[in-house]
Amino acid sequence: MATVYLAEQALVEREVALKVMAPQLTVDPSFGERFLREARIAAKLRHPHIVSIIEVGVHGDYHYAAMEYLAGGPVQVRDSDTLGLRETLRVVREIALALDYAHSKGVVHRDVKPDNILLREDGSAVLGDFGIARAVDASGAVTRTGTVVGTPLFMSPEQLRGKQVDGRSDLYSLGVVCFQLLSGRAPFVAEDALALGIMHMTSPIPALPASFEQAQPLVSRLLAKDPADRYQSGAAVVAAVTALEAQLDGSAGAIAPAPEGNPREPDLDLGAGRDGRAEPVLGEFEQAVSDRWRVTPRPQGKLRRRRRWGLPLLLVLVLLGALGWWQRATWLPPV
């Protein structure tokens, strides 16, 4: 497991999300390796719709990664609410761009789900948490087989079988996300993971609500059981979504934009303060890192700017309640 804190990069006065692996996990070296692997994979992917990694390190028993602070939280719908067609299409298009870029760099995410799709203050969608991502081999498939990792509610049939997967598996997961954002529920729901897996492999694709039927061809192709029947790339999904958006706008014949290449870092305006929902971080963590980081209780009301220190990346930590979606790491086995 990992916990995320709201922190500040002192020299540039920038708020960041600081992800810290639970120190008790260091008894198994593989957990630290997985944590650092996630950070290294994400750090190599520089795209406007992929979370930016700022610094990675180990301090004593603490593995940490400082990353872009995403103030908007995860994209979610609750209690059968829906996100709306246009907003859902925008999220799907932006994450498809991110996936197309990641796949072009040889990375399959393997855990695309709403909890891992975060929003900036301007509403743009960002893909995060590459904790179970894998590099692909020369044939375009993840090299390891026989191991099932991911979130069953969003996993492709081939991923559930423990087969080799490629980028088309991520596109299936994106289709599940799209269906859930439009309908308020997952396309397949069961009492246990085994039954859920069978549904992903064999059950017909359910229909969207009538008000969103224009998106049914998009969702149905994303959720095709056979990878060969799906869109073959994130760029193809972007083109399909753009065409549907043009259809909704009544502007037939619009040309889909090409996937973004070599994009610059996004400019963030995070504001001068937050709403004070975070709680103070005290105790063992403070004692362990007090030689480098100061951990102080927050004042009542808005978070207060702290005094700066002159270290390369000195972070003032406050538990980030608003970023609770990061607190459940997606690594397997669970703890």
C-alpha span between 126 and 75 (Å, rounded): 10
| Greatest extent of the chain over all pairs of C-alpha atoms, in Å | 62
Question: Which one is catalytic: 111, 115, 166, 170?
Answer: 111
C-alpha span between 335 and 22 (Å, rounded): 10
H or E stretch covering 83:
none
* Contact between 257 and 240 (Cβ < 8 Å): no
Q: Is 275 a catalytic residue?
A: no
131: which DSSP letter?
A: T
SS3 129: coil
Strands, E, within the chain: which ranges? 2-9, 14-21, 53-59, 62-68, 73-74, 107-108, 117-119, 125-127, 134-135, 318-319
CA distances from 230 to 169, 173, 174, 206 (A): 9, 11, 11, 16
Find, among 109, 135, 136, the residue nearest to 51 by Cα: 109
- CA 252 from chain centre, in angstroms, equals 33
H or E stretch covering 156:
none
C-alpha span between 94 and 81 (Å, rounded): 21
Q: Calculate Rg over the CA atoms of the chain.
A: 20
Active-site residues, by number, are 111
